[in-house]
Structure formats: C-alpha cells, structure tokens
Chains A and B, each alone.
Chain A
Amino acid sequence: MSWFRRERRGVQPIQKKAIPDGLWKKCDLCGEILYVKELEKRLWTCAKCGNHFMISTQQYIEILADPGSFRETHTGLISGDPLQFKDLKKYRDRIREYHEKTGMEDAMVTGFASMDGRDVVLAIMDFSYMGGSMGSVVGEKFARAAQDAILRRRPLIALSRSGGARMQESIYSLMQMAKTAAMLSRMSEEGLPFISILTNPTTGGVTASFASLGDVIIAEPKALIGFAGPRVIQQTIRQDLPEGFQRSEFLLDHGMVDMIVPRDELRRTLEGLLDFMCARAASAPDQEVKDDSQSPAVS
C-alpha cells in the first residue's frame, strides 16, 4: 500500500496522447477514461455518462441484423464530379482519399437483412466518409433501398449521421433531399413502415429530408440533431445556446422524436415496433387505398 510507488504497471496519465494502442479511450462528453474491452462490451457507450461513441457501419450491422443475414446491395456506385468542383482541393481527389482511407464507396451502405427472422431493408450512413454528407450516391442508394422495400414489401430502417448535403455537388446534392423524400412519399402510399434512427451527429440536408420522415423516429442518447449547426445559429442570433440544445433529449422534449433508445436496446425496440407496423406490409397492398380514381368518398 505504497502511496508513492506505482504498483500497477501500465497505468497511464490522463490527458496524454500516450494512451497505448487503443487500450483506453477518453469519453468526448465527460472525459472519463474507459477501458476499450469494457467499451466494446457496452457497444461503445460510456459507462459513466452514457455517451454513445461513433461506431462503424459494420458494427451497426452486427448490432441490428441477425448474424450473417446482411447482404449488401447497390455497390459500385461512385460519385461523379458534375461541377468539376475545386476548393482548396479537387473534389475528385477528396473522393479518392476518402475511398482509400475508409474503404467505403460513399457515405451510405444499403442491404437486405433479417431481424429476429423478419426481413428488412437497411440503409446506414457513415460519418467517416466525408462527414456523412449526402451527394448523388447517397441519394441514389437511399432511393434504391426504398425501392427494394416497396418491391419486396419490407420495412425500411435508416440510420443517419451526417453533416448534411455535400457542398461539392451543389444543386445535385440539394436535389437528393427531394429525391429521398419523394421515395418516402411512395412508401407511405404503399403502407410500408419506415423507421429513422438519428445518431450523433445528424444535421442539415439529411435532417431536413428522409431522416425526419420516419413513421417512427428514434434517437440515440445525447446525439446532436438539428437543421442548422450550433455554430451557425450562434453566429446568427449572437447568443449563447442553452445547455443540451439540439441534443436528443431536447428533441424529445420538443416533440421531434418518438423516443430515445440506447444502443443496446435498439434492436429489441425495432423488433417491437415492427410487430405493430408490419401487419399491413405483410399482406398485399390495399386496393381501395391505392385506387387513383376520383370517385367521391363514401360518407
């Protein structure tokens, strides 16, 4: 019981970058130093404050889908460079760099999976690819995933994390908002469920399109969710923002999301919801509702 001699080896000072080889990780929110093995067990959530760390798309697939059931769809879609955009860097170079760095083709992965035996379509965004920004590829993948859901009469589950529309595609990325929303209009008509999961952070054009159009909207705890980013708002109104502003809990209080669900309960929650929402999807489309004729409503 020496006060001065360090008996345990490998104890690390707190702030230093010297944390060896990913054994420990610091929580962004509360600063707690967490043991990685423990973090993994808790699906990368902080034991102290409940902060949800950003995880990979693959990890979400493991959390959400039955083991081995995920089959990726719509691969091979690569961003074009419609505007030949160049800021400090060429957009083309950025695309290549992110591709090499992340191994991903763009900021969204789509696929078929089963959840507790029920077939679903998944669309999962990834922040690590260019800030999860939505350009033509993300829009197209989402639209195709929704199309898959319609053709196979399956629920669609999207998980978002995004900085918004991809500026380098300007008008094309803006139009992806309309495109994704248009497909969801079609899904609604077909009576198919769409569940949107918002994770940290989801802002801009993604929040202002498909991510806000869930029949049910779920947020992970403490996620930053909003239309404008906090910095833009602060610059506009020139006031300090209240604590907890634009966090999941704030959105729940203001009626913008249905529930806040911790990561380890996501899957069970989804299954429970789909039990209620899939009754009609399972049967053939309701002809009466689909009928486009203009017969007067029966009173």
Chain B
Amino acid sequence: MRHARGKEGDAKMVQRAPKRHVLDFEQPLVELEDKITELKQLAVVQNVSVDEEVGRLSEKADRLRNEIFAKLTAWQQVQLARHPLRPYALDYVSALNTEFVELHGDRTFADDAAIVGGFMTLNDRRVMMIGHQKGRDTRENIRRNFGMPQPEGYRKANRLMRLAEKFHLPIVTLIDTPGAYPGLGAEERGQALAIAENLKLMAGLRVPVVSVVIGEGGSGGALALGVADRIIMLQHAIYSVISPEGCAAILWKDQTKVKEAADALKLTAKHLLSFGVIDRVVPEPPGGAHRDPAAMADTLGQVLYEEVNYLSHVSPTVLRERRLKKFLNMGYFEQESP
C-alpha cells in the first residue's frame, strides 16, 4: 500500500527543488507563485519597480488558492495529509524552539524510531511529548519505517506515558502514521497487544492528555497514541479506521477506487468535528502546513500551550472520569424500545 511513497522527500531536495513534490492540484498555484518570486528577483537585479505586477499576481494567487482549497475533495485532503513536505513531529519540536530531551527504548526489545518521545517544554510548562515520526529521505524513512511503528514503538510510548504520570507531566501526542506495521516480527511480538495496552493505559491516566493528528491518523496505530482528553486535528489532517487504499481493496474489491473510498470514509477534520469525535480543528496556513511550516508550528505551539494549561487545572479524578465518559459516548446506534 505504501510502496509508492518510498521515494519521496529528500531533505536536501526540500531546500533546492521543492517543485519535485507538488501535487497535481497545487500545480497552477505553485507556478503562479514561482512567477511572482521570479519577478521580484528580476526587479532586484534590474532595479525596476514591479510592485504593480506583483500585487496583481499575488491577488490572483490568493484567489486561485481560495478556489482550490474551498472545494478540496476527500482524496485531495488525503494527499495533503501525506504531503512529503508536511512538517513531522520532530519538525514541530525544533520549530517550537523548546527544550526537548529525547528518551529511547521500550526496555524490552528495541528502540523504534517510528515513534519519538521525551521531556519537552511548552513556554513555561513541562510536558511529555510522544509522536509518530516519518522520515524525510529514503534512508531516514527506512530507519523510521515510514512512520509505521513496531510493537516496541508502542511499548516505548507506554513507558513514557507511565513516566509522565509518575512525574505529573501532561502528555502531548502528535499523531502521524499510515498505521501500525503489518509484519512478521510485529505479529510475533504482539502488535495487537501493544496497541490494546496503550488504549487501556491512556484511558486511566491521571495526567492530562492532548492529542493532535498532524498528518495521517491511520487506524489503531494512530489511536494507540490518541485516547486523550482533547482530540485535535490540523485542518488538512485525516483520521480513519482504514486507509482509502485498504478500504477500496476490501469493500470495492478494486484498488483504484481510492477516491470513492476516501469520500465514503468521511475522514477529514471537518467531518470528524461535525460528528463530535474530535474537539477542535486547528487552521493551517494558506495552501497547507507545508507551505509555511514556521507559521504552522507557531499556531500549533499556541494551541498546545492553551490546551495543556486549561487541562492542568482539572483534578486527576475529574479528568479520568470525563475521559471515560467521553469515550463511552462515542458511537452511533439506535435503541429500539423493548
């Protein structure tokens, strides 16, 4: 399912030739923006005024951007959520200019680089940060397994969450995974069990938990970091029980029906907010988080600080009670009177 994405995202390319990662529907917009940049450079070199032209083109670009992003299809949202230039957990950590002490290993088997975590500061607050981590280039993607954790990753997260509870640190999780890795070793070492244990642990934690889906919320592998007091999604993130690819293959019996599946799964932040499954949607910079990672990080930092601050005033008992109730209320069914 994921092989096609293996070639993406070389860190060096990010700086030199971002055009290599332009999505189809972004193309006209990016071309226009390139023109504006070119024009500006020209103005500097030839010392002529291009303000009027630049202003005109910028307006046009804004209009075009609004047009494109006002009617994004579900499948386009999926592509944005998986955009190879999209900021990942550690990008936010470094952009937020926080103190971050990464902690490693599940103390049993290995250190899974597909999940990162450690002590982190958020302004004047100290928290435990845990997040999925995708790779930016091929080598890093191999090391991080494209953000698909092994059981060790979830057990590391489990350990860090228990640490956080011990030291009364709020927990912030950044969710971004295609899913838990479906491999031989993962099954041998209890992938399902590792995920289940996290769900149970998180439900009973005595410290605040804030989860943000920053990219892909891929099924149980995402939820294993997502049993939170506040569940937040970035505007173009997605969250669903199965990937559109998997859903198309199973229900449509046709892997090419990804667009139909993406539509049917209602996996966008807007949908999930309307269902009441998530609590908040964080707006992204125009064109998506990857177009202005610094601005996105700023916003996210503020949101996290705000949420953590708010929850820190709630007593552990009330926190847990509310969290349990929140998840018990999740579901949609009809009750026939007996």
B44 to chain A, nearest CB (A): 50
Q: Are A177 and B333 in contact (CB under 8 A)?
A: no
Segment from A29-37, A44-52, A180-188, A264-272 that makes contact with B = A180-188
Query: Which one of B183, B191, B266 contacts A170 once the chains associate, using CB atoms below 8 Å?
Result: B266
Q: Which residues of B contact A86 (CB under 8 A)?
A: 264
- For residue A174, CB closer than 8 A to chain B, the reply is yes
Q: Are A212 and B193 in contact (CB under 8 A)?
A: yes
Q: Which residues of B contact A246 (CB under 8 A)?
A: 187
Segment from B20-28, B246-254, B296-304 that makes contact with A = B246-254
Q: Are B186 and A227 in contact (CB under 8 A)?
A: yes
Q: A181-B199, A245-B187 are in contact. Are A174 and B335 (CB under 8 A)?
A: no
Q: Which residues of A contact B324 (CB under 8 A)?
A: 182-183, 185-186
Count class of interface residues, chain B: 35 or more
Residue of A nearest to B180 (CB): A227
Within 8 A of B (CB), among A284-299: 292, 294
Within 8 A of B (CB), among A120-160: 135-137, 139-140, 143
Q: Are B252 and A182 in contact (CB under 8 A)?
A: no
Query: Which one of B180, B196, B241 contacts A165 once the chains associate, using CB atoms below 8 Å?
Result: B241
Cα separation A73 to B25 with both chains bound (whole Å):
52
Q: A140-B333, A212-B192, A212-B196 are in contact. Are A170 and B223 (CB under 8 A)?
A: no
Q: Are A227 and B327 in contact (CB under 8 A)?
A: no
Q: A170-B265, A171-B267, A182-B324 are in contact. Are A176 and B199 (CB under 8 A)?
A: no
Cα separation A79 to B332 with both chains bound (whole Å):
7
Q: Which residues of A contact B264 (CB under 8 A)?
A: 83, 85-87, 170
Cα separation A213 to B196 with both chains bound (whole Å):
7
Q: Report the interface size for chain A: residues with CB under 8 A from the other chain.
A: 69
Within 8 A of A (CB), among B280-338: 316-317, 323-324, 327-328, 330-338
Segment from A16-24, A53-61, A203-211 that makes contact with B = A203-211
Contact digits for A228-264, partner B, Cβ 8 Å, 1 yes 0 no: 1000110111010110011000100011100000000
Q: Which residues of B contact A166 (CB under 8 A)?
A: 241
- For residue A167, CB closer than 8 A to chain B, the reply is yes
Q: Which residues of A contact B328 (CB under 8 A)?
A: 143, 179, 182-183
Q: Are B266 and A174 in contact (CB under 8 A)?
A: no
Residue of B nearest to A228 (CB): B182
Q: Are A182 and B331 in contact (CB under 8 A)?
A: no
Q: Which residues of A contact B241 (CB under 8 A)?
A: 165-167, 169-171, 173-174, 205
Q: Which residues of B contact A98 (CB under 8 A)?
A: none
Residue of A nearest to B228 (CB): A178
Looking at B203, B220, B331, B337, which has the most chain A CB atoms within 10 Å of its CB?
B331
A→B interface (CB under 8 Å): 75-80, 82-83, 85-88, 135-137, 139-140, 143, 165-179, 181-186, 188-189, 204-205, 207-213, 226-228, 232-233, 235-237, 239, 241-242, 245-246, 250, 254-256, 292, 294
Starting from the known contacts A172-B275, A235-B1, 18 additional A-B residue pairs (CB-CB under 8 Å) come to: A76-B338, A77-B335, A78-B333, A80-B334, A167-B241, A170-B240, A172-B330, A174-B219, A176-B331, A185-B201, A189-B204, A208-B191, A211-B192, A227-B187, A228-B187, A233-B187, A236-B181, A292-B317
